[in-house]
Structure 1
Amino acid sequence: MASAQGQFLAFDEFGRPFIVIREQEKRARVKGLEAQRANINAARAVSNLLRTSLGPKGMDKILVSQDGDVTITNDGATIMEKMDVKHQVAKLLVELSQSQDNEIGDGTTGVVILAGALLESALNLLDKGLHPLRVCDGFERACAIAVKHLEATSQELDVFANNNELLKKAAVTCLCSKVVSNRQNELAAIAVEAVLDVADIKRKDVNFEHIKVEGKPGGSLEDTCLIRGIVIDKDMSHPQMAKVVKDAKIAILTCPFEPPKPKTKHKLEISNAEDYRKLYEQEQQYFVKMIEDVKNSGSNIVICQWGFDDEANYLLHANKLPAVRWVGGVEIELIAMATGARIVPRFSELSSEKLGRAACVREIGFGTTDDKMIVIEGCANTSAVTVLVRGGNKMIVDEAKRCLHDALCVVRNLIRDSRIVYGGGCAELMASLEITKVVDMEPSIEQYAMRGFADALEDISNALAENSGLNPIETTTWLKNEMKNDPSKRYGVDCNGVGINDMKELNVYESLQSKVQQLQLATQVVRMILKIDDVFAPSEYS
């Protein structure tokens, strides 16, 4: 067996040569502080990428997929999801952003920036010789102090007072940093109405399955509207069918309008006109029987998961049965839930008990374009709502849908827990000052990690100041001094006014639940990263 440059020439049992490549030489083992530093630097690279997208003055990112699809957004969860991250530890920050999005729906950029700041602080402590586990313990103790202080200083609001004005302001705070900020007031009002329509106020619960966000390019953002019902991106199967059906009795079918097909192999030969006529009559009997089954059930509109040919379409129109075809499975289930219908797999099983009820089913058009949609309003079983988003192109519509999702989540969170903290970096600075007070009385070595946690919390106000064109160190120092001198004030970075202001007077606030989740998730992920001290992977990993 000969060897050269990590390759081995071997022979099989027939004497044929083949090359064995030593993969081991392409792999590197990184241990101890070197591994931790490599992991922290990789995670910080991801965090620094999002840093410029924080706040109302944050910059947008343009993301181009492998297929050439372009996405322009400053939504942290979307940026992290579409990034092609190779480093396994950096992927933890991607999962961190997704966890925040799944649990809260907002704060996805802030939680990644906070995790990056904590990792930078941890790296300084590790370089000074502090053990990683002592750093983790100190961070967790500081996180507990911060959460406790925020809960104690949070303010509980009557979110339904003054015609839900406080809910609208919370949604505006969420939308002011988005692409749709020029229409933030209108979209905030739509988000509040949508959530309140489906919310169970007594149980403080919101079922997001009853809120659907649909987009349709070709209009302008101000055309976005709330429809109290379900909207599906389909039209009537025949252009001459009725466009409006009042007091609709809906039959939902998962079987096609066509003659049954034999399950065995078959061959049919037609040699003369008589045979063709018999075949045509047999087919007509199938179609007529299907139409009779639908009419006998009492249905006055049909929604079918499959398509049907021109013959079935003509017979449905002739019998004054409006129909919608090629409706997706998810939409079929949503319509069935909302209208109380049963999904029917065979025409023979149709009955009046399995029909859904709705006040109105109508087809709507959009200006001079051929685009049409079906609206189902006044559903029997639920108050399902749909937000119909309009925009000049698909990219704007997609970004508006993402922005509305965040606003809906913010309103939902305040209904669940009406306690709030103030934005603009105010909550983080308050927690930082509280941790600094406790650290001075801490006798253990964890005090260095706790002080590092407090310093990391200042990074949020630093990032907001940087993105607003202010001096971050000068701005954060002034804020801390003012809050020390007057603890009743809630000072923060006023990004829109470009300066420093009282966030309480400006009504810039966010859910306490969201802020607590950010602190806890970031601390957990940092602990996971710091505990990795031995990496055996391809050399490019480091």
Structure 2
Amino acid sequence: MPSVGTLAFDEFGRPVLILKGQDTKKRLFGIEAHKSHILASKAVSDTLKTSLGPRGMDKCMVSPDGDITITNDGATILSMMDVDHEIGKLLVQLAKSQDDEIGDGTTGVVVLAGALLEQAEALLDKGIHPIRIADGYELAAKIALEHLDKIAESYPLDLKNLDPLINTAMTTLGSKIVNRCQRQMAEIAVNAIMCVADMERLDVNFELIKVQGKVGGKLEDTTFVKGVVIDKTFSHPQMPKEVKNAKIAILTCPFEPPKPKTKHKLDVTSVEDYKKLREYEKQKFEEMVKMVKDSGANLVICQWGFDDEANHLLLQNELPAVRWVGGPEIELIAIATGGRIVPRFQELTAEKLGHAGIIRELSFGTTSEHMLCIEECKKSNTCTIFVRGGNKMVVEEAKRALHDALCVVRNLVRDNRIVYGGGACEISCAVAVAKAANTIPTIEQYAIRGFADALEAIPLALAENSGYSPIKTVSDVKSQQITENNPYLGIDCLNRGTADMKIQNVIETLIGKRQQISLATQLVRMILKIDDIRLPGEEEE
């Protein structure tokens, strides 16, 4: 086997392996490094560009395990892509940060970042220094954000009229797989947010919204439940399938005799000993069931399992029970029903019981699959969205789409200002930024014009994905915006006969659009300031 290095020793006698070929690793400097970064970013951006908008294409990804994911959600696509280049990985993180903070616009932010770097490449070829380009982009972003504030409109947050919120959620869902039941999904998302929103603090606790999926049925069967749905059933088939006015004992202790905490060994040497042990176990089970009954509970939800004898005793005592309920579900049930989680039977009292109007068992199709639905809870601000779909892939994509819609409605609760989509606000900002570039006397004016051209990448991609001639369509809309002074004109992706996005109700949140421009500019500025990169494992030719 050929030698891979030399073994040396330091002053303490510890071995150090000196690898061969360290001096032959490929190292990029200056303009070459910038070109490498831009090439990697364009490759990632071009992959996502075809997924933008309501007519965007979906991507089919296969995991190493063979699981299939079909989606056009930018953050999901990038998280599943195996990106090797360091700058490509930064774009993956860019999409993730947009998804974590805003929830929507993950594809757009990557397309914008790719377009900014593409414009930067042309400016570098002209001999403009990367720092001057980065400074120009920073200035242009500031102009664009100020213009967004000018063209933004305030949206009324009226609990009696939820149509404006539903229209915004529908825009988000327009490009998703669930768009055939767009209105229904948007209403579910708005109802869920309104159920848990704190209007005084203008905030939404997402932990109170649970999105549960079950394969089977069709997307239209997706329902909104004011309560909790858990993928469990009653522990005994003869227990009642419905409990009204439920008083729930929420237990994290198992239905079994207590065990000593030390290592122990018990030898049963005779039939009498075995009978005594069995009597002891039965007595303990009866004591536990009695404690639950004495507290006034008529339903037990237990985090742990219990054996057949305990199950039979619960049935005999007419005490329905659910076992093996996971920790997150236990917490959600406790929050929803106003109950306390009880770690010991001795601590169970009437005050610690949860209350629900009705608990019923749902059954699906002919597969004997069951779930429990806990409704009319004491604290009704906990809710569940129960998603149905023909296969696992559809259910997962519907969950992702609903997550985006929930985030958009949450953003409107935080800041109720909106701008109009379909590329309208990007074209309007591009016009404003290009106009401002003419007033800048320094060399940064070239970068500012480049920023304006990059902003047009999003409407260009929308037009191309909709089957139009991209440059002609965008130039027509741009000239129309300038002559009519109307910032609501965008790309008519769905061919509805009007380019006015206000009439089409294509709405985006201002907070999301601002975040898109800010994050893309920050990342591009950082990439332009890297002029030295050492690529591991690659040798010079």
What count of residue pairs does the alignment treat as equivalent?
A: 534
Deviates more, 1:346-355 or 1:57-66: 346-355
Taking the TM superposition and a 5 Å limit, the aligned residue runs for 1:499-518 are 501-518=499-516
Q: Is the 8 A contact 1:87 1:541 kept in 2?
A: no
SS at match of 1:284: helix
Identical columns (%): 58
The one-letter code sitting in structure 2 at the alignment partner of 1:405 is H
Taking the TM superposition and a 5 Å limit, the aligned residue runs for 1:380-459 are 380-459=378-457
- Separation in structure 1 between the aligned mates of residue 152 and residue 292 of structure 2, nearest angstrom: 59
- Superposition TM-score, scaled by structure 2 size: 0.94
Q: Which residue in 1 is equivalent to 2:272?
A: 274
CA RMSD of aligned residues (A): 2.1
The one-letter code sitting in structure 2 at the alignment partner of 1:285 is Q
SS at match of 2:495: coil
SS at match of 1:492: coil
Alpha-carbon deviation of 1:121? 0.9
Is residue 2:472 matched to residue 1:474? Answer: yes
Q: Which residue in 1 is equivalent to 2:372?
A: 374
Q: Is the 8 A contact 1:138 1:447 kept in 2?
A: yes
Alpha-carbon deviation of 1:540? 4.5
- Separation in structure 2 between the aligned mates of residue 148 and residue 494 of structure 1, nearest angstrom: 26
Which residue, 300, 303, 311 being the options, matches 1:302? Answer: 300
The one-letter code sitting in structure 2 at the alignment partner of 1:120 is E
Deviates more, 1:171-180 or 1:362-371: 362-371
Is residue 2:532 matched to residue 1:531? Answer: no
Structure 2 gap ranges (5+): 10-15
Q: Is the 8 A contact 1:253 1:346 kept in 2?
A: yes
Alpha-carbon deviation of 1:25? 4.9
Is residue 2:122 matched to residue 1:134? Answer: no
Q: Which residue in 2 is equivalent to 1:335?
A: 333
- Separation in structure 1 between the aligned mates of residue 252 and residue 79 of structure 2, nearest angstrom: 34
Deviations 1:217-254 (A, max 9, x none): 11111111111101111111111112222222211111
Is residue 2:294 matched to residue 1:262? Answer: no
SS at match of 1:490: coil
- Separation in structure 1 between the aligned mates of residue 431 and residue 532 of structure 2, nearest angstrom: 36
- Separation in structure 1 between the aligned mates of residue 246 and residue 24 of structure 2, nearest angstrom: 68
- Separation in structure 2 between the aligned mates of residue 150 and residue 11 of structure 1, nearest angstrom: 62
Deviations 1:432-482 (A, max 9, x none): 000111111111111111111000000001100111111111111111111
Q: Which residue in 1 is equivalent to 2:27?
A: 29
Is residue 2:472 matched to residue 1:485? Answer: no
Alpha-carbon deviation of 1:359? 1.8
Q: Is the 8 A contact 2:52 2:461 kept in 1?
A: yes
Q: Is the 8 A contact 1:468 1:498 kept in 2?
A: no
Q: Which residue in 2 is equivalent to 1:288?
A: 286
Q: Is the 8 A contact 1:26 1:538 kept in 2?
A: no
Q: Is the 8 A contact 1:160 1:167 kept in 2?
A: no
- Superposition TM-score, scaled by structure 1 size: 0.94
Q: Is the 8 A contact 2:8 2:18 kept in 1?
A: no
- Residues 364 and 290 from structure 1, CA distance in 2 versus in 1: closer, same or farther, beyond 3 angstroms? same
SS at match of 2:60: strand
Deviates more, 1:24-33 or 1:37-46: 24-33
Structure 1 gap ranges (5+): 13-17
Is residue 2:173 matched to residue 1:175? Answer: yes
Q: Is the 8 A contact 1:435 1:450 kept in 2?
A: yes
Which residue, 88, 103, 106 being the options, matches 1:105? Answer: 103
- Separation in structure 2 between the aligned mates of residue 174 and residue 226 of structure 1, nearest angstrom: 19
Is residue 2:32 matched to residue 1:52? Answer: no
Alpha-carbon deviation of 1:6? 7.4
Which residue, 489, 493, 496 being the options, matches 1:495? Answer: 493
Q: Which residue in 1 is equivalent to 2:93?
A: 95
- Separation in structure 1 between the aligned mates of residue 22 and residue 486 of structure 2, nearest angstrom: 62
Deviates more, 1:154-163 or 1:267-276: 154-163
Deviations 1:310-357 (A, max 9, x none): 111111111111111111111111112222222111112211222222
- Residues 327 and 27 from structure 1, CA distance in 2 versus in 1: closer, same or farther, beyond 3 angstroms? farther
Deviates more, 1:350-359 or 1:426-435: 350-359
Taking the TM superposition and a 5 Å limit, the aligned residue runs for 1:152-163 are 152-160=150-158, 163=161
- Separation in structure 1 between the aligned mates of residue 36 and residue 539 of structure 2, nearest angstrom: 8
Taking the TM superposition and a 5 Å limit, the aligned residue runs for 1:191-230 are 191-230=189-228
The one-letter code sitting in structure 1 at the alignment partner of 2:490 is G
Q: Which residue in 2 is equivalent to 1:15?
A: none
SS at match of 1:302: strand
- Separation in structure 1 between the aligned mates of residue 458 and residue 197 of structure 2, nearest angstrom: 33
- Separation in structure 1 between the aligned mates of residue 333 and residue 445 of structure 2, nearest angstrom: 57
